[in-house]
Chain A
């Protein structure tokens, strides 16, 4: 597609439920990143994919968080047993390759609210 697409744009879930967030990167972008942004805060790195492997998953805050990517295409971020502190905007970005000189292209994010 023309840009990075994320779905859903908004998600309200009950504490303890599992959620799945989806990211469709720009076609041909091999690098894909997930970040989290709490209200009024900067971006917190979660995980990086190169193709369908994840060389850097150091930012995942707990074992309730997992992510996968199909080839150089769609990625899903799954949060199990959601907690209120998981409420945030989850942002996905892609770039043509890692260490890109062109910067990231971000999606519009998924706003997750855990009630």
Chain B
């Protein structure tokens, strides 16, 4: 399969804690992106990291990329109940006309 793989499949934490989700992939990539999905509907783009970048921040989000290990992580700091959602990584292989390959997602539940 060319899909990415997220780990863990499900994560349950208390408000204020940090949440870390991991993503592994199998090919070379152009960039890797993280998306959020509420209630099985449309996905919202969160952050993009290019293959020549190692770390990127956006608000409470921190993304790292290790191309040697073909893995990425998404850290959400000081989580809130409103962060409850599914989180997907997706990567762009660069040679496939903009097609993104999505993982199966991590279901994050943040308890108040």
Contacts and interface: CB of A to CB of B under 8 A. Distances in A.
Interface of A: 4, 31, 33, 35, 37, 39, 41-43, 45, 48, 50, 55-56, 89, 91, 93, 95, 97-109, 111
A56 B41 contact: no
A43 B88 contact: yes
Contact of B43 (A48, A98, A100, A106): A106
Interface residues of B, number: 27
Interface stretch (B12-20, B59-67, B76-84, B97-105): B97-105
Contacts of A43: 43, 88, 90, 102
Given A48-B97, A56-B97, A107 B102 contact: no
Given A41-B104, A101-B31, A103-B33, A109 B42 contact: yes
Contact of A89 (B40, B100, B103): B40
Contacts of B101: 45
Interface of B: 3, 30-31, 33, 35, 40-45, 48, 50, 88, 90, 92, 94, 96-105
By Cβ-Cβ distance, the 7 closest A-B pairs, closest first, are A98-B98, A103-B45, A43-B102, A42-B104, A106-B42, A108-B42, A106-B43
A108 B30 CA distance: 27
Contacts of B35: 103-104, 106
